[in-house]
Amino acid sequence: MADELTIILVIVLVAMAIALAFSIGANDETLASLVGAGVLKFKVALILGGTAIGVGMIIFSSGFVPETVGKSLLGEGLESKYTNYMLLTVLISSIIWLVIGSFAGIPLSSTHSLIGSIVGVVIVYAIFQGGVDLNTAFNYEKLRDVVLSWFISPISGLIITYLLFKISAKVLLSRLKGLNQIEKSEKTFKWFLLIAVLFAEIWVGANSGEAVGILLGLRENNSISGGQFLIFAIFCGIFAFLGIYFAARFVIRNLASHMIDTRPSEGFIIQMSSAIILMIATLFSLPISHSHVIVFCIIGMSIAQKKEVDYKGLGKMGLYWVLTFPIAAILAGFIYFGLSLFGLK
């Protein structure tokens, strides 16, 4: 009976991880600037973007961000292993908080929510269930790096965008005098934008380690084998592709319709800056929020162009960003505590 329950639980966790990969694709709006600029036909853009995110997710599945999510955040006290109920709680908690955020119209980060949930679960496990010293329950160095990266990555995005814009303005954009000349230059930038968006999509896939991270957690606690992990990771990549192709298309089309007069050069700078940040964060195995980075890249562009920035709205958004981590942690802690009361540790 216990074995059957364990198998069912593993199946549920794998299914949820794959569904999470689908939702990562479904929530990805990176392609909007490309579609808005009319570089490619809509379906071709979806296929290319979906492939890029899927490939990024699969290639970086066996280490990097998934390893941080599924293993490296845990300390010696937990021997870098989650129990399946911990993983279940982490998923449920982050999904609940994200759904609440969606209904309330608050833009939240799935990365922050997931890491917050992990922290909440581990604290409850360490204090109430596992008899583990909190000092050894976490890999504090890694946790510190992850949290720090959440502050550093958006600010770096802002700075890189600002500098890239200033350089391109000095070297090229400010020298374009007439609309014809500007259009000609922007037509060339459309192809650069295509490269930047696909480059960004690869790193979005690579950095969105939540789904594969759960699978890695299952591999680490021997619930699934290495071979199974690889197959499921490929499934995650495929479902991320399907998420973009079938679900994200509506958001992308809607956003793209508001971007038809956006300059491809601006889109290129923003996408390239965010891709660079995502790449660096991924190579350092740090899960960051893509949407936070993009928002700050857009702010960097606005500052560089001396446009107005909605600091009030930004402050409100910042508050939700900061609150996500502790709220997800508290929520996960309560859920896990509730489960453990029924012996589901």
Partner 1 sequence: MEILEKMKEIQDKELKKLNIDELTHLFMDNINEQNIKLIEGIEFLVQEDFNKFKDNMNYVIDTNTEVQIKKKFESKIFKSKLMFSKADRLKLFNKINDIKNIGEFLANKMLLYKAVFPDEKFKQQILSILNSLKNISNNLSKAVKLIGSDLSKAHDICEDIKDERRKMRNDEWLLLNRLYNYDMDYLSRTFIYLKELIEGIMILADHIKNFSEYIQFLATKYLIFD
Q: Contact residues for partner 1 (CB under 8 A)?
A: 37-39, 166, 169-170, 173-174, 176-183, 186-187, 190, 260-264, 305
* Least distance (Å) between residue 291 CB and partner 1: 24
| Cβ nearer to partner 1, comparing 141 with 183 | 183
Sign of dihedral through CA atoms 289, 290, 293, 296? negative
CA atoms within 13 A on the CB side of 282: 24
Segment holding 265, helix H or strand E: helix 264-283
CB of residue 41 to partner 1, shortest distance in Å: 11
The residue (of 118 and 196) whose beta carbon lies closer to partner 1 is: 196
- Comparison of 11 and 260: residue with beta carbon closer to partner 1: 260
CA 326 vs. chain centroid, Å, equals 18
The SS3 call for residue 138 is strand
Q: Which two tokens stand for residue 21?
A: 């990969």
Token pair 């971007």 is found at 259
- Residue 138 dihedral angles phi and psi, to the nearest 5°: -115, 155
Structure tokens at 64: 């990097």
CA distance 13 to 315: 36
| Chain position carrying tokens 């009030």 | 312
Nearer to partner 1, 97 or 165 (CB): 165
Q: Which residues pair with 138 in a beta bridge?
A: 74
CB of 274 to partner 1, least distance (A): 21
Contacts of 45 (CB under 8 A, 6+ apart): 31, 34, 35, 39
Q: Report, in Å, the least distance between residue 261 CB and partner 1.
A: 5
2: which residues sit within 8 A by CB, 6+ positions away?
none
Q: How far apart are the first and last CA of the chain?
A: 16
Report in angstroms how near the CB of residue 183 gets to partner 1 at its nearest. 6
Q: Least distance in Å: CB of 36 to partner 1? A: 9
Smallest distance, partner 1 to C-beta of residue 267, A: 10
Which C-beta is closer to partner 1: that of 189 or that of 229?
Answer: 189
